[in-house]
Amino acid sequence: GAGVSQSPSNKVTEKGKDVELRCDPISGHTALYWYRQSLGQGLEFLIYFQGNSAPDKSGLPSDRFSAERTGGSVSTLTIQRTQQEDSAVYLCASSLAQAVTEAFFGQGTRLTVV
Amino acid sequence: GDSVTQMEGPVTLSEEAFLTINCTYTATGYPSLFWYVQYPGEGLQLLLKATKADDKGSNKGFEATYRKETTSFHLEKGSVQVSDSAVYFCALSSPYNTDKLIFGTGTRLQVFP
**pLDDT tens across B21-66, in order?**
999 999 988 899 999 999 988 888 999 999 999 999 999 999 999 9
pLDDT in tens, B64-93: 999 999 999 999 999 999 999 999 999 998
B2 CB-near residues (< 8 Å, 6+ apart) = B25, B26, B27, B28, B31, B92, B94, B102
Kindly determine whether residue A105 and residue B43, on different chains, have CB atoms separated by under 8 Å: yes
Nearest CA in chain A to B38: A107
Residue of A nearest to B9 (CA): A40
Alpha carbons B105 and A97: distance in angstroms, whole number? 26
Which residue, among A89, A84, A94, A88, has the nearest Cα to A108 in the 3D structure?
A89
Q: Which residues of A touch B100 (CB under 8 A)?
A: 33, 45, 48, 56, 59, 100
